[in-house]
Amino acid sequence: VRQGWLWGLGFGLCLGLALLVKQTALFFLFVPIVWAGVRVLWQRQWQRLAQLIGGLLVSVLLFGPWYRINWLLILTSGKRATIDSAIAEGDPALNTLDAWVYYWKILPYLISWPLLLIPIVGLLIYGLKYGLKQSAIAKPNNLPSPHPPIWSLTWLGVFIVGGYLLCSLNINKDARYILPLVPVLSLFLAYGLTCWTNRWGKPMRWSTVGLATLLMMLNLFPLGGRGLTQLLSPRVEHFPYLGQPWPHRKVIAEIIKTQPYLRSNLGVLPSTPDINQHNFNYYGALANFQVYGRQVGTQAKQVKQDMRSLSWFLTKTGAQGSIPESQAAIVQAVEQGSEFELHQTWDLPDASQLKLYHKQQPPIAVKPLSIKPVGDQSSIKPTNFYSNTSLSTTLTSSSRVKLDQVTVPETSPAGVPVPVTYQWTGSWQQLQSGIVILTWQPVELKVDQLKVGQLKVGQLKVGQLKVGQLKVGQLKVGQLFAKRGLLAKVEGSTDTNLQPSTDTNLQPSTDTNLQPTLRERQRRTTDTNLQPLTHGWLHDHGIGMGELHSSQLPSANSQFQVIERMAMFPPADIPAGSYTLKATYLNRQTGETYPIQVPKVTLTIDPAATPIPAPELDLITQMRILSTNLPKGLNGLEPVFEETARINQYDPIQDYLEQADLALSYRLESEPNNLDWAYALALSRVLQQDVEGAIAALKRVTQLDPQNPYAHAYLAFVYLYDWDGKNGENALKPALKINPTIPELQGLSGIAALMQGNVFKAWSVIQGLEL
């Protein structure tokens, strides 16, 4: 009894580990498990049934947590790996005979004709002559007696037949899918070899094993005998490669040598068995995961974005392998365009040439500084964002991150990407862990009750701007005037000939009591007919876009410089005027924050300005723009996930999502009612598969956008994704009350009912589903 429970425990452990390693293990184990369950039920062996159930529960404890989070990924990736691949490869449809005999046809290639036919013939002779009874002539030949033969063959048959049928049910066909059947099939065939009796027994077994060994050696090593292998064991030659080495390691080493402090993403445009994104990604992983390989340029409409988003590309001459039609367009753009330069070439063993291209002006540049920055050595106590307390340690100005330079064009229209270059210096630890909270806001000047003739301007803010020699002549009511970022509107005065004040050197007020709250500013602005200057845009991101890599750090340098050549996006609806930058440092590891002094920089938004060519927007900005589609429901989700699939290629570890999560969380601490930020935070957490974080973010969204049924639907979906039917149903109630006719809401309601075991309600919902 005790041994049976131990076997049950061992079975559960093995099943759980098998499903964690490869989900398709279920193809081969499902039928035997069902067979065993039915058998013990039929024989009323309740203790064995309990052992089987106990083993299954143990396996659930192992694979359950991972499958709970990744079940949707498994389903979607399964579709891509089966249906999409089968269509692309032209595999036979399930309603044809070829789909069910496919693996039978290729079985000789996996086993060889001698190892397949000779054991089968032995089984047939043994079965025809002696049936299922024990052979009387087996004893003199010292052959193992099949006891009981029916059960040993039946159990092997259940495993083989069940696995074969379920693998054949998979529409995508490939020999590797049935390889787990081969070890069990070898037991069946070995049993067949023992069925050769009398004087033929021993010679037949030794000759079969000897011939199989010879075929194995001829297929693994170039020893000749090609005619024999093609006849008896075709299509399985796998000789060791003895030619010139392929330059995969050299390519990775050259990229690391050029950018030793960055994680690089290599766009691999050919797709041959020897040159493809997978093997370059493998060699990049061997180099401390500093280089990743990705296949881009697969869709014609994304070629331009792919080319602008990566700094490294590989092309080759000659055969290109399995590639889409759009590959030729991106190869031509990389090789003949002006953005990339040929960095190095390698001659390949197949007489073609491999070409490595590098962007002439890479978006991120890092270099160590031999001299530490000279500056104020005063110290500050940074704030801990995670706990809202001061850190006990102090940071000197030499270790803090500094913004040395910001380069932007003088003017730009709104609603288009604007090029911007940031130059940061600081210690490596602070740079690598740093997320910069960047706000481009209107230039502000604090002036209390500035009188210009009969014009009254109350509490007008234009940053650190000094106003001097402001002259107003023939200014009409309602006319806007601006000087050095000062923007105002003349209202209410009947005197159209306003005279300037005699004080020509106006300084900001130093009275701290004149600093009004937002509500006071809005009230006073209403009184004076001035609009509050509360517009602006964000450009939060990790320093170096989170691409800083530590494996090649020099030991002698403690200070580094990081240059970012990026693009930001002023929204189309911001008013014209002058904008400047405010910066805050956030440490993603410790939560510490401190202000960053910004050099003097001004960008004027002018609708009449000519747009300036800019790089591709950073991934965080793209994600935030995409999140504005979420309130639209299903129509908005389609572009979100289509574009997310694209931009995820550009960040192989999706670190931009963590950067966005931390930056938006920080901002929402001070502005908790910002709906756009709430949606963006929810999207970043959903894409990270952070269930608890996504639920918290979506609860905020439903509070800020309570009349949008899709906001409640998103929260319900995440609950259902987490297998929480009760909370999912509760989250759907407001949405169904707002608009009960949306089919997606009805479908989610049925799933919630089914998860709670209410089959009849689920069926009722599905029956009444309005499509």
Q: In this structure, are strands 383-384 and 264-268 parallel, antiparallel, or unpaired?
A: unpaired
Q: Lowest mean pLDDT: which of 185-194, 668-677, 714-723?
A: 185-194
Residue 357 burial (10 A CB sphere; 0-12, 13-18, 19+): buried
pLDDT at 681 over 60: yes
Do 431 and 562 contact (CB within 8 A), yes or no? yes
16-43 pLDDT, tens digit per residue, is 999 999 889 999 999 999 999 999 999 9
Q: 383 pLDDT band (50/70/90 cuts)? A: low
Q: Of 191-205, 392-406, 470-484, 719-733, where does the model show the most confidence?
A: 719-733
pLDDT for residue 757 is more than 80:
yes
pLDDT in the model for residue 151:
60
When pLDDT is averaged across residues 144-172 and rounded to a whole number, the result is 79
What local confidence, expressed as pLDDT, does residue 232 receive?
Answer: 93
Under the banding of pLDDT at 50, 70 and 90, the label for residue 502 is very low
Between 637 and 529, name the one with better pLDDT. Answer: 637
Q: Return the CATH architecture of domain 619-767.
A: Alpha Horseshoe (1.25)
- Residue 515 scores a pLDDT above 50: no
Give the amino acid at 592: E
C-alpha 340/C-alpha 356 separation (Å) is: 10
Torsion of CA 208, 213, 216, 218, to 10 degrees: -110
Distance spanning both ends of the chain, measured CA to CA: 56
Q: Which residue has the higher pLDDT, 726 or 462?
A: 726
In contact, 551 and 358? CB cutoff 8 Å: no
Q: What is the pLDDT of residue 273?
A: 92
Q: Residue 730 is inside which H or E element, if any?
A: helix 725-738
Instruction: Round the average pLDDT of the chain to a whole number and report it.
Output: 83
- Domain range 248-362, CATH architecture: 3-Layer(aba) Sandwich (3.40)
Residue 599 has pLDDT above 90, yes or no: yes
Local structure of 272: helix, strand or coil: coil
pLDDT at 371: 52
Per residue in 72-123, pLDDT (tens digit) is 888 877 777 788 778 877 888 899 999 999 999 999 999 999 999 999 998 8
Q: What ranges make up the beta strands (E) of 443-558?
A: 444-447, 450-452, 455-457, 460-462, 467-468, 480-483, 486-489, 505-506, 537-538, 541-542
Our CA dihedral for 530, 534, 536, 538, rounded to 10 degrees, sits at 180
What is the per-residue pLDDT for 124? 85
pLDDT of residue 623: 97
In a 10 Å sphere around its CB, with 0-12 CB exposed, 13-18 middle and 19+ buried, how is residue 536 labelled?
A: middle
Q: Work out the average pLDDT over 696-707.
A: 97
Confidence of residue 384 (pLDDT cuts 50, 70, 90): low
| CA 258/CA 338 separation, integer angstroms | 20
Which pLDDT score is estimated for 525?
30
Average pLDDT over every residue of 363-381? 63
What tens digit of pLDDT does each residue of 608-639 get? 999 999 999 999 999 999 999 999 998 899 99
Q: What is the pLDDT of residues 58-76, one digit of tens each?
A: 999 999 999 988 888 888 7
Residues 6+ apart with CB under 8 A from 429: none
Q: Name every residue whose Cβ is closer than 8 Å to that of residue 758 and which is 6 or more positions away in sequence.
A: none
Yes or no: say if 661 and 688 are a contact pair by the CB < 8 Å rule. Answer: yes
Among 251-260, 287-296, 319-328, the least confident range: 319-328
Q: What confidence tens digit (pLDDT) does each residue in 385-437 have?
A: 555 444 444 455 567 999 999 999 999 999 999 999 999 999 999 999 999 99
Parse the chain into domains and list their residue ranges: 1-25+43-82, 91-240, 248-362, 364-612, 619-767
Given a cut of 70, is residue 512 above it in pLDDT?
Answer: no
User: Using one digit for the tens of pLDDT, what is the confidence trace for 573-592?
Assistant: 999 999 999 999 999 999 99
* Token output for 461: 């803010």
User: Phi first, then psi: what are they for 235, rounded to 5°?
Assistant: 65, 20
The mean pLDDT value for 195-204 works out to: 84
In percent, the amount of the chain with pLDDT more than 90 equals 65
Q: Can you tell me the mean pLDDT for 128-144?
A: 54
Q: How confident is the model at residue 146 (pLDDT cuts 50, 70, 90)?
A: very low
- Per-residue confidence at 200, pLDDT binned at 50, 70, 90? confident
Q: Considering the entire predicted model, what is its pTM?
A: 0.79
Mean pLDDT of 176-180: 91
